[in-house]
Structure 1
Amino acid sequence: MTERARSDKRTRQDLEGTGHIDPSLSVEIFLKRALDDPSVALTQFQRFGTGHSGDTYRAVLHRSTRPDDDIVVRLSPTGVRIAGPADVGRQGRIMGTLHQNDLPAPAVLASDSTGAVDGRSIAVMSLVSGAEWHEFAERHSHDETANAAVSALKAIQTLSVEESGIAGDPRMPPEGEIARWVPLVERGPDHVQDAADELRVQLLRELNRSDPSAEPVLVHGDYHFGNLLFGPRTVNAVFDWEIAGLGHPLTDLACLTVAALRRRYEPEPNPTGSVEVTGARLAELYGADPDVLSWHVAASCFKYAAILAYNLQLSRRGRLRDPIYEELQGTMAGLLEDGRAVLDHGLTAFWPDAHAPQA
């Protein structure tokens, strides 16, 4: 039986009774070729973490000439076209170039966007150890957590567009960042669309506040505390580069600000990280103009409301099995309302101190 035939047989097997197909042999064959090492073998292959844009596994990589390596394997969803968030190989290229430049990302052993693993894209990286944001905050403080996150963001933005791994991608202007999420709003619940459209119109009317001529940088697109892994004093790694691109430098700072803003919607869950820090403090840590940041925070409110609305509809139709979206309807409405309030009053006046959770 050939290697490929054995791979096809094994990929039809259930992975530890979870209902997920075991791709371990296909990944092993890919790594033998990508690393040019026939001694490659994988053991302890098991599902790891969560994610809607692909499957993630943890394994031990064995090679005859090197010590064993704990690795993470990320694969795009089965049967999904390799593009956008499903292009895991692209994410691997971004993280790989970050790591090579001593920036917070895992070492990437191999990545591919051609469908080399049973028609799926792949990124294989070393496992990174560290703490989640709340563990870091408990050891230090919420302000130090915010400072570490902002410092990591500023370090990433020192990487030139040419070195980003996606230098050929189009640059996303602020108005394009708004247009990008409109289709998701249109596929969301009807009651969200009017409020979202009001915020969209106001953002475009006040576009000049966004500093649209700023030089583009590598943008994560979903830069929040929940996507960071912390070391003793700094961020060890930034994960989940599914919607990364080239765009405005304040886009990611705005994502971080909205993560903290979501404390207003407690007790609804906030997987982005309820760090107790104000928008003004985040602007100060970064060195951003609070008025310019206000526009980008409002734009991020629009983006996250659009994503939540779209995912809620997918969940209700049985296409996304995650009950959290039913629990975030207050967050969705709050983001759209607060986005308009931030534009009306400015970030500092709207958020002069840490908001108490809403009743």
Structure 2
Amino acid sequence: MNTLLIALIGALRSHRWLRLLGCAFILSSMGNGLTQVVVFGQLLRWQASPLTLTLAYMLATLPGFIGSVWGEHLSRKISPLKILILCEVLGMLALICPLYGLLRHSIPALLAVQSAEALLSGMSYPALTLLLKRGLSDNELPAATAMETLIFASQVLLGTGLGVVLFDVLSPLTLLAIDALSFCASAGLLAGSAAVFHVVTSPVDTLSPDHPRLRWRNCSALQRRSLLLLPALAAVGSPAMALLPAVAQQIRPEETTALALPLLFIRSLGQLCGPLLMNADKLQRYGASNVRLLLCLVLFLGGYFLLPLLSASPVAALGLIFGAHLASNVVFALGTFGVLRHFSAEQVATASAMAWRGQVMIAAVATGCAGLLAESIGATCALYSISLVSLVCVAILLWRYRA
């Protein structure tokens, strides 16, 4: 079977720039993951409230709305690789915030770095999508989907994995120093990728400012469905993921950090493994199947809903979250593939920015409601309430734009 992993390996063998890009983003994602370990670890040590923990998650996504607007605009003027290098440099500078927070015991400063990372992620996403669309042929688009999955999963897979191991061994300041080195190395690798990159799909280096803007009303039903998959996943997944540290705090109050950080790690392991095992030749058919998409979302929620019932067994809890994200990131992979597949090189940066903004806004609303409910009825009850309502809304949406 031609899985996404096999497709990615084939593309990596053919394109040196893609190998350098992949290494750069793995290092950068590792640094972002380390930052999250420092932030959430310190918040848990300082016994932050469930609302604060949920706010930390929301701030890690909401500023991406503005970032995606900037990224879309910049993609029309300069090379996407230059945008990515700029994001790495700014990401390193943003580490001043957690440094100040640790030295001054400032929770707002710790939350500020979450906002900065979200802003830069929003800037880089349209540029990354445009770069993959230009540098790979249509037959290699499954490899681009796998690359995006690898990049975004490695943030917690490597960063949180390393952070969980080192959090009680090294000081938070040392972890931030490792984080800064990862950003520097990533910027260097991206510069090397820019030196050997060659365009495959588009004959031009930048998007023309005069090219007609992509608008929702001009999209076909298939294009609209592709744009809606990532926001749909955010509606169902964001409340559960945002409440995960608070749920861990509620079910294991004496061992919160020991449970929450491994759960964050295993979550990303599932995010990585699920999509890479998919059949690359059947992505379009999978994306058109409402039954498959809803089944994945139901399996995701099932894992989170059963988590409080198995709090006495950490191994079982880890297995549930791993399985949940095996399922959820199949939807993520299908959403990213749909954008790459159904939009031209001139449209793909705008399309990916639209999908990102929709994802961010839905995630912010769902997460905000979940955080407010968690303060009044508890994290577990808030998880059940918001997620079920979101699942029903997504089912209606998929039926409305069924293929």
TM-score interval for Structure 1 and Structure 2 normalised by the shorter chain? under 0.3
Q: Which has the larger radius of gyration?
A: 1
Greater strand share, 1 or 2? 1
TM-score by length of structure 1 reads: 0.28
Greater helix share, 1 or 2? 2
TM-score by length of structure 2 reads: 0.26
Q: More relative contact order in 1 or in 2 (CA 8 Å, sep 6+)? A: 2
